[in-house]
Amino acid sequence: MNTTLKHWKEAATLILAAGRGRGFTPRAPLTGESDSGQSHLPHRSPFDYDVLLLKRSGKSGFMPNAYVFPGGVVDASDFSSEWLDIFRSFTNSLTFGLRSVKQPLETRPPIFATDRLKLGSPIPGEVALRICALRETFEESGVLLVAPKTEEKKMLKSIKDFGYIERYGVNDLCSSELTKWRALVNQNPSNFIRMCRELQVLPNIWALHEWSNWLTPAGRYGTTRFDTAFFICCLQEIPHTLQDDKEIERFQWSTPSEILQSYQAQELWIAPPQFYELSRLCHFPLLNDLHNFASQRATAGCEQWMPVVVSNDEHHISLLPGDKLYPVDSPRDSEAAKNTAPQSKDHQDASPLHRIVISDPYNLRVQITITPKYNHVLPIAHSAVSHDSKSQL
């Protein structure tokens, strides 16, 4: 846990995708009418998986009523030295059997690059952040992603033979046991350690693949700002899911395209990072393709993104790294909330664009002409995702 940060709280979130059966499954339309005013005909979704979204409580101090991926703030217990005993069979490996990231340390986002030993924890950041994502997912949705200790020998052999551990599914605990431990972990995050010890399980850190790193822009969602590591995990089947009745009002499993359509129809609200990431997932209608891409891409690393919000008369523009107007010097520690958008003198300027144009809370347009870094993909064109590379500031 990095207590040296002035403006940020470290956090971790999990994009959880789960299969919903083979082949094409008919899906009910999200809205009653099409843009032309005619009723939608039944259609078949090309997606063979759903993504978990949780609706935040209306009383929440951060993005009330928003639909978000499960996740939350890092707790000191996520970096506890007690995890060394839980993972003792894997501590000979620098990152407990996680694959090495090829990205040079000097370009790694600080949330991953920070030397945690210097901050007093023997738990590597890449491990603790995954523990945080798994713990928060369990607290908020009741989905527990763990691997039984009885599988340790197989897992160690996988590290030796292949250099990584193959994915494991959701732990199959009885409902009463799951409910008991979930309540205890919600009361005190350190009970997650106790649970793993007593149940003889390991947090399945190996099933989580590094995906992205988003920072809260200044002045957009209150005074609290987060430096959030995004991970992705693919499961074969949708697990039993519960809401926590405290921070979360309801949960929803839907395909990426359905969520975006529902957002466009103003049936739910998602923040720009969720919008961007769900639009990326539209590249992969098949769960196996998504899993293979996420697993292979993760070792390339990722880029830290702190949106810089500027405005003109009609829009807010959320600038992302690579955009022609994004500040040259890192704005990470800046307290500036908004700036006035400078006007482009040459409207035929072919300078790089990487931005989200926000017309109103339910109307976003992604403008991109850059090439993504670290083998990643850009948001795909979608009925709810407008790519407009011609529009300039």
Cα–Cα separations (whole angstroms), residue 209 to 16, 19, 89, 108, 368: 11, 17, 21, 15, 25
User: What is the rounded (10 degree) CA torsion for 286, 290, 296, 302?
Assistant: 160
Between CA 190 and CA 178 the distance in angstroms is 16
Q: What is the CATH number of the domain that holds 106?
A: 3.90.79.10
Out of 210-219, 238-247, 277-286, 305-314, least confident range: 238-247
Between CA 182 and CA 10 the distance in angstroms is 22
For 359, the domain range is 308-368
Number of helices (H), then strands (E), in the chain:
9, 18
Evaluated on CA atoms 168, 169, 173, 177, the torsion sign reads positive
Q: For all residues of the chain together, what is the average pLDDT?
A: 83
In a domain, 326, yes or no: yes
354, 323 contact by CB (below 8 A): yes
Between CA 54 and CA 27 the distance in angstroms is 20
Q: How confident is the model at residue 357 (pLDDT cuts 50, 70, 90)?
A: very high
Q: Are 73 and 148 within one domain?
A: yes
Segments in the chain forming alpha helices (H) = 83-86, 110-113, 125-141, 152-162, 175-187, 191-199, 256-264, 272-281, 287-297
Cα–Cα separations (whole angstroms), residue 78 to 114, 228, 272, 361: 15, 15, 27, 34
Q: Are 104 and 220 within one domain?
A: yes
CB-CB neighbours of 74 under 10 Å: 27
Residue 334 has pLDDT above 60, yes or no: no
Share of the chain above pLDDT 90, in %: 62
User: What pLDDT does 332 receive?
Assistant: 58
212, 111 contact by CB (below 8 A): no
CB-CB neighbours of 95 under 10 Å: 16
Residue 172 has pLDDT above 80, yes or no: no
Residue 78: closest CA among 141, 121, 36, 34: 121
In a domain, 134, yes or no: yes
What's the number of domains the chain is made of? Answer: 2
Give mean pLDDT, residues 20-29.
Answer: 44
User: What pLDDT does 4 receive?
Assistant: 55
Q: Are 73 and 99 within one domain?
A: yes
Residue 35 has pLDDT above 50, yes or no: no
At residue 143, the 3 state secondary structure works out as coil
In the DSSP assignment, the letter for residue 58 is T
Residue 229: closest CA among 12, 10, 57: 12
User: What pLDDT does 322 receive?
Assistant: 95
More confident residue, 163 or 347: 163
Q: Are 214 and 237 within one domain?
A: yes
Q: Are 272 and 347 within one domain?
A: no
Between CA 357 and CA 391 the distance in angstroms is 10
In the DSSP assignment, the letter for residue 94 is T
pLDDT in tens, 177-189: 889 999 999 999 9
Residue 358 has pLDDT above 80, yes or no: yes
In a domain, 284, yes or no: yes
Between CA 343 and CA 25 the distance in angstroms is 47
**Which residues, listed in sequence order, are joined to residue 27 by a DSSP beta bridge?**
43
Domain boundary among 304, 322, 347: 304
pLDDT in tens, 188-227: 999 999 999 999 999 999 999 999 999 998 766 556 789 9
Q: Are 228 and 347 within one domain?
A: no
Between CA 299 and CA 376 the distance in angstroms is 11
Give mean pLDDT, residues 29-54.
Answer: 60
Q: Are 265 and 315 within one domain?
A: no
In a domain, 391, yes or no: no
The encoded tokens of residue 262 equal: 């529902």
At residue 363, the 3 state secondary structure works out as strand
Q: Are 283 and 361 within one domain?
A: no
Residue 37 has pLDDT above 70, yes or no: no
Q: How confident is the model at residue 28 (pLDDT cuts 50, 70, 90)?
A: very low
Between CA 278 and CA 270 the distance in angstroms is 10
More confident residue, 189 or 62: 189
pLDDT in tens, 66-125: 899 999 999 999 999 999 999 999 998 888 999 999 999 999 999 999 999 999 999 999
In a domain, 382, yes or no: no
More confident residue, 27 or 143: 143
In a domain, 374, yes or no: no
In the DSSP assignment, the letter for residue 170 is -
In a domain, 29, yes or no: no
Q: Are 186 and 273 within one domain?
A: yes
Q: Are 212 and 149 within one domain?
A: yes
Q: Are 332 and 283 within one domain?
A: no
Q: Please report which helix (H) or strand (E) contains residue 316, including its range.
A: strand 316-319
Q: Are 52 and 143 within one domain?
A: yes
229, 112 contact by CB (below 8 A): yes
In a domain, 257, yes or no: yes
